[in-house]
Amino acid sequence: MNNSKIWLSSPHMGGNEQKYVQEAFDSNWVAPLGPNVTGMEQDLEMYLANQASVGALSSGTAAIHLGLVLLDVQAGDTVLCQSMTFSASANPILYQGATPVFIDSEWDTWNLCPIALEEAIVSEIAKGTKPKAIIAVHLYGVPYQIEAVRAVADAYEIPILEDSAEALGSSYKGQKCGTFGDIGVLSFNGNKIITTSGGGAIVTPTAALKEKAIFFATQSRDAAPHYQHSEIGYNYRMSNICAGIGRGQMEVLDDHVAQRRLMHDFYASIFEEVPGLTVFTVPNTDYFANYWLSAILVDPEKANGMTRETMRLALETENIESRPLWKPMHLQPIFEKYPYYGSTVAETLFENGLCLPSGSNLTVDDRNRIKTAILNLFA
Ligand SMILES: *Cc1c(COP(=O)(O)O)cnc(C)c1O
Is residue 83 in contact with ligand 1, taking CB distance under 6 Å? no
Cα 277 to middle of ligand 1, angstroms: 27
From atom 8 of ligand 1, which residue's Cα is the shortest distance away? 189
Of 234, 252, 270, the one marking the end of a domain is 252
Cα 168 to middle of ligand 1, angstroms: 12
Of 197, 225, 252, the one marking the end of a domain is 252
Cα 97 to middle of ligand 1, angstroms: 20
Whether residues 163 and 47 fall in one domain: yes
* CA nearest to 355, candidates 280, 287, 262: 280
* Domain assignment of residue 153, yes or no: yes
Is residue 162 in contact with ligand 1, taking CB distance under 6 Å? no
Residue 3: the pLDDT is 87
Whether residues 219 and 267 fall in one domain: no
* CA nearest to 38, candidates 201, 161, 224: 201
* CA nearest to 54, candidates 78, 76, 37: 37
Whether residues 218 and 309 fall in one domain: no
DSSP state of 241: H
Indicate the number of domains in the chain. 2
* Domain assignment of residue 8, yes or no: no
Whether residues 175 and 295 fall in one domain: no
Residue 103: the pLDDT is 98
Is residue 200 in contact with ligand 1, taking CB distance under 6 Å? yes
Of 203, 232, 252, the one marking the end of a domain is 252
Whether residues 198 and 233 fall in one domain: yes
Cα 19 to middle of ligand 1, angstroms: 27
Whether residues 317 and 178 fall in one domain: no
Question: Over its length of 379 residues, how does the chain's per-residue pLDDT go in tens digits?
Answer: 678 999 999 999 999 999 999 999 999 999 989 999 999 999 999 999 999 999 999 999 999 999 999 999 999 999 999 999 999 999 999 999 999 999 999 999 999 999 999 999 999 999 999 999 999 999 999 999 999 999 999 999 999 999 999 999 999 999 999 999 999 999 999 999 999 999 999 999 999 999 999 999 999 999 999 999 999 999 999 999 999 999 999 999 999 999 999 999 999 999 998 899 999 999 999 999 999 999 999 999 999 889 999 999 999 999 999 999 999 999 999 999 999 999 999 999 999 999 999 999 999 999 999 999 999 998 8
Question: Is residue 120 a contact partner of residue 80, using CB atoms and an 8 Å limit?
Answer: yes
Whether residues 232 and 126 fall in one domain: yes
Amino acid at 253: L
Q: Which of 57, 187, 192, 326 to mutate to test the pocket of ligand 1 (most atoms within 8 A of CB)?
A: 187
CATH code: domain of residue 298: 3.90.1150.10
Whether residues 288 and 327 fall in one domain: yes
Residue 1: the pLDDT is 60
* Domain assignment of residue 1, yes or no: no
* CA nearest to 82, candidates 90, 70, 92: 90
Q: Which of 59, 84, 86 to mutate to test the pocket of ligand 1 (most atoms within 8 A of CB)?
A: 86
Whether residues 243 and 280 fall in one domain: no
* Domain assignment of residue 26, yes or no: yes
* Domain assignment of residue 293, yes or no: yes
Is residue 335 in contact with ligand 1, taking CB distance under 6 Å? no
* Domain assignment of residue 4, yes or no: no
Whether residues 71 and 197 fall in one domain: yes
Whether residues 228 and 273 fall in one domain: no
How is 6-44 classified by DSSP, letter by letter? BPSS-----S-HHHHHHHHHHTT--SS-SHHHHHHHHHH
Q: DSSP E strands: which ranges in 123-182?
A: 133-137, 160-163, 171-172, 175-176
Is residue 82 in contact with ligand 1, taking CB distance under 6 Å? no
Q: Which of 61, 66, 109, 291 to mutate to test the pocket of ligand 1 (most atoms within 8 A of CB)?
A: 61
Instruction: Give the bridge partners for 204, in sequence order.
Output: 53
* Domain assignment of residue 12, yes or no: no
Whether residues 200 and 284 fall in one domain: no
- Whole domain around residue 91: which residue ranges? 17-252
CATH code: domain of residue 53: 3.40.640.10
> Closest ligand 1 atom, CA of 59?
7
Half-sphere exposure of residue 169: CA atoms within 13 angstroms, side-chain side: 26
190/186 Cα distance (integer angstroms): 13
With H, G, I as helix, E, B as strand and everything else as coil, classify residue 160: strand
Cα 60 to middle of ligand 1, angstroms: 5
Amino acid at 132: K
* Domain assignment of residue 6, yes or no: no
Is residue 85 in contact with ligand 1, taking CB distance under 6 Å? yes
Is residue 86 in contact with ligand 1, taking CB distance under 6 Å? yes
